Structure 1
Amino acid sequence: MAKPITAIQKRQMTEEEKRAEALAKLKAAVGDSEEAVRELLTLIEQLHESGLLEAANALLKAREDVAKIVVGQLNQKPVTTMVNHAFALAGLAASLDPERTAKLLEHIASGAIEAYEETSVEPKKVGLFDLFKALNDPDINRAVHFFLSALKAIGQRLRNDS
């Protein structure tokens, strides 16, 4: 009768066998995506011809020095101020109703374009009497009322901040 197996020995691959297996897997992968490999080689060739590949290699070799320069630039007051403004604007944009904001911006843009076209064709001097007369126009009155309301709301908020 045969002896029972008590231990299974795992076969250890030699370095040469590991390399041969890795090479076989690589060949299979290249064969499966031949077109992609060709495009990648074309891209690398174009990067080399334009000098960008050499620049990228130099950048990678000097990455510690480049990182120090970048961090130094990012720590300057104007950059941190700009980043803070960007975050504040992003917070403001997130708090606005997108539909109402889009509608308001659309009205402002189309009104500005229409006004530009009108004033470029028929430039005339506007006097004080013309301003009073314009207030009788319901559209102008509506816009003036809008801006006066906006100014009042801004003023109230400014008073609350101080």
Structure 2
Amino acid sequence: GHMHDRGVLSLLNGLFGQGDKVLNVLVKAVDKPEATNTIKNLLLMVGTLGTINVQQLEPLLLKLNSGVARVAEYKDTDEKTSYLDLVKALKDPEVNRAVTLLITFLKGMGEDTSDMERNTQLPEDQKMHKMEKNERDVPPNKRE
């Protein structure tokens, strides 16, 4: 009833009534190289999103939000930060934690992850795939 009230049923009826024409337009649209590349990128992005550990990402996002809030409150002036100001700022525990966090993040970004890349290796050669296969081969009572 709600679909009929909103006109969804008449829209679907029209689409199916002109099915060959609609299908022809869709095939032509998807046949373009940029559409094919878009679909490929979308699938890669969805696969990559599945590898993100949101529980580990949440504290970082909260810190990022806090930093953005402080920058939004910042009043832009012509005042310049000197080298001595930078050294003094490192004594501030919040600044020191942030710098340590950034250095740790940069170290993680510098790690070799080529064995985990999905788009440059066959699935059977990927580290993630091998780990999943090994987990399937280990009986549940022997897993950690």
TM range, smaller chain: 0.5 to 0.7
3-state SS, counterpart of residue 80 of structure 2: coil
In 2, Cα distance between the equivalents of 1:71 and 1:157? 40
| Larger fraction in helix | 1
Deviation at 1:62, TM superposition (A): 2.0
Match of 2:141 in 1: none
Per the normalisation by structure 2, the TM-score is 0.59
* Aligned amino acid, residue 80 of structure 2: V
Q: Secondary structure at the match of 1:95?
A: coil
Moved more, 102-111 or 80-89: 80-89
**Highest relative contact order (Cα 8 Å, sep 6+), 1 or 2?**
2
Task: Give the Å deviation of 1:101.
Answer: 1.3
List gaps (5 residues or longer) in structure 1. 1-39
Which has the higher Rg, Structure 1 or Structure 2? 1
**CA gap 1:146/1:85 in 2 versus in 1, 3 angstroms:** farther
Tell me the alpha carbon deviations over residues 134-155 of structure 1, each in whole angstroms, 9 at most, x when there is no partner.
2222221221222223223323
Counterpart of 1:127, as a letter, is T
Q: Which runs of 4+ in 1 moved over 6 A?
A: 158-161
- 1:57 shift after superposition: 4.4
CA RMSD of aligned residues (A): 3.3
State whether structure 2 residue 96 is matched by structure 1 residue 152: no
Counterpart of 2:81 (choices 104, 127, 143) is: 127
